[in-house]
Amino acid sequence: MEFRLPNLGEGIEGGTITAVLVKPGDTVKAGQNVVTIETDKAAVDVPIESDGIVESVAIKLGDKVAIGTPLLTLTTGRSPAPAAAAPSPPPAASVPPAGAPVAATDSTPPAPAAATTAFHLPNLGEGIESGTVTAIFVKPGDTVKAGQNVVAVETDKAAVDVPVESDGTVVTVDVQLGDKVAIGGKLLTLKALTPPPSTTAAPPPSAPGSASANDRESTASPARAAATTSNGRVATLPASASACALDIPASPATRKLARELGVALNEIRGSGRGGRVTFDDVKAFVRNERQRLKETGGLTPAPAAAAGGSIVNVFTLPPLPDFSKFGPIEVAEVPQIRQTIAKNLTIGWRTMPMVTQHELADITELEAGRKRIVEALPKGSSKITMTVLAIKACVAALKEFPRFNSSYDMNAGKLILKKYYHIGIAVDTERGLVVPVIRDADKKSIRDLAQEVATLATKARENKLTIDEMRGGTFTITNLGGIGGTAFTPIVNYPEVAILGLSKSSLQPVVRDGQIVARLMMPLSLTYDHRVIDGADGCRFTVRLAQLFSDPLRLLMET
């Protein structure tokens, strides 16, 4: 039996071997510590799961091991007497009992046979952590083939038949009906088949009933992924989904990374031995998808899968129920631009942990000055709005806090700090929200910005924006002040790391110089990527913006 590094706790993917407490030949008992491993959280003693004799130790001091890595090979034997008697018959004599259930059930695997392995509950799909055993299709002594269903488990999402991964003989069944088993929990102990010439000739004349039952089970196994389980429940996972969840070879650490990045393992072509999906395969796959999004500006749907490869579909959701069963409905087409907005927002939401910081800016003097300037402008001039002034304030703050003008490459573990300031302006249109980009905002005057904002907003509402006019933003401003509201939580426009929301300004009582006075206050809502920006810096940024909005002279001097 192969003993692998078990799950050590939430968020622990592996560690370094700091002590090996056993050696080949040692007898161990269930619960006995066999190795010590240093994780990023603590030093942990790892106990063995069952009694046995250590055949070999697969690791050494200083080895870095991931969850699921083989640590030891163990010979297990519950009754020493049969094990001692087993070597006397020649190998051929050990084959006939395979057709006789009584003999196979009666004894543990003979000592000279092939090594035993443990079969664990595999990953059953995104978000499934455990299941309850509702059926057991095999017993000790049964011969099983790769792909044959051995147990059925009931999860919170579906009843699923679980196929074994390799040929072998069942040594022990380590679960019972009703047991709750976590992903990675032990189900069976198997002995690998050792097929001498006589063994290959023996199976065809399979007269015994138990052998034919096994044959029927193995031939039926491909269909059972979509058939009923032994308890009568229908396994709702389709055959393709069952293959995705159960048959894609990958380590626990690789599966965890794929879940965190929203990638289905069946979408990735594995480069490891036997098509195994590696950690690097997942990262390369996501990197290629993000490059595609970068090249298209995130505004076009993913291309269809090409031969020999595919594109991850992170937007696939379970089908909705038939709402017409409950009452009258109307089905409306969703414009392509709205579908694109939904996809882009989903990327941002699933990619980054977001935090929103709120602040009030006293814009009494700024608004009074803005009105004076607007009244003095020649007729037909572009209007200087609060959005235009917000661009100048944001550029000044971005220069002081450069991490807000960056993008985070999680695959490479690098932060890309941008030395240019392209500010996106969210524009509300009849077709949905679009974000044209003001390029090199730091190099333009307030009048220049006013004219460009007006031009791009008009083009957006007339559906005349080009793709290039919506690419390359480093920071976004969305202003809902003309509609209302006191605060909101804007979603970061991926791959940026921050977005500023402006709400409706209002007269509020404020204490100044010991007196309560009415001041025009504008709510600021800054959402940022917490992977890149800490809460303290998020607060400093909004406070700095409030200072700039509150002092028009400072705003002019620092921009």
Residue positions annotated with a catalytic role = 530
Question: What's the one-letter identity of residue 384?
Answer: I
Question: By three-state DSSP, how is residue 400 classified?
Answer: helix
State the residue for tokens 């004894």.
Answer: 107
CA 425 – CA 475 distance, rounded (Å)? 9
65 close to 72: Cβ distance less than 8 angstroms = no
315 close to 302: Cβ distance less than 8 angstroms = no
Query: Smallest Cα–Cα separation from 227: which of 138, 289, 149?
Result: 149
State the residue for tokens 């070597």.
Answer: 87
Question: By three-state DSSP, how is residue 123 classified?
Answer: coil
CA 91 – CA 25 distance, rounded (Å)? 25
CA 538 – CA 404 distance, rounded (Å)? 9
| Residue 429 DSSP class | E
CA atoms within 13 A on the CB side of 90: 4
CA 441 – CA 477 distance, rounded (Å)? 13
State the residue for tokens 């990327």.
Answer: 347
Q: How far is CA 147 from CA 168, 282, 492, in A?
A: 11, 25, 45
Tokens read off for 5? 């590094």
CA 145 – CA 166 distance, rounded (Å)? 6
401 close to 418: Cβ distance less than 8 angstroms = no
Query: Smallest Cα–Cα separation from 291: which of 495, 491, 530?
Result: 495
DSSP 223-263: HHTSSB-TTS-B--S-HHHHHHHHH--B-HHHHHHHHHHT-
403 close to 542: Cβ distance less than 8 angstroms = no
State the residue for tokens 């007898």.
Answer: 27
CA 154 – CA 161 distance, rounded (Å)? 9
CB crowding 66-102: b at 16 or more within 10 Å, else e: ebbbebbbbebbeeeeebeebeeeeeeebbebbbebe
Q: How far is CA 36 from CA 53, 56, 282, 335, 517, in A?
A: 19, 17, 30, 58, 67
| Share in percent of the chain as helix, strand, coil (round to 5) | 30, 25, 45
Torsional class of 419: left (φ above 0), alpha (ψ -120 to 50), beta (otherwise): alpha
